[in-house]
Structure 1
């Protein structure tokens, strides 16, 4: 596996992750690995799957009401 060295992280930021790791019962290193994995970019296939899913949801949306239908609902 690869390794990364990140310099000049503000103390306040690192302290937030230390506390979060402590609450989760894991090391700071594992907390940061989890964060990186959770926020990794989508692959092309994942982007396509999300797009297809959202597209399928929008096809089920009924067309907007006409002005006459809106007026009828107000009466």
Structure 2
């Protein structure tokens, strides 16, 4: 696994994460590791799955513009 060093983090930010870590019963390092993992970019497969889930949930909603109107606006 990789290691990361982040310089010049404000003391207030570190203190805030230390408090959150303590409330969650974790170390500061684990709290930050979890934060990074929760906020990592989606993989292409995850983006497709999220899009499909969204479309399935809102399948009755139709765009207010047709594809031709959208293309025309992009020109």
TM-score interval w.r.t. the shorter chain? 0.7 to 0.9
- Unaligned regions of 5+ residues in structure 1, if any? 63-75
Runs of 4+ in 1 over 3 A off after TM superposition: none
Structure (1 or 2) with the greater helix fraction: 1
TM-score, with normalisation over the residues of structure 1? Answer: 0.77
How many residue pairs were aligned? 62
1:24 is aligned to 24
2:3 is aligned to 3
TM-score, with normalisation over the residues of structure 2? Answer: 0.77
Calculate the aligned-residue CA RMSD, in Å. 1.4
Q: CA–CA distance in 2 between the matches of 1:13 and 1:22?
A: 14
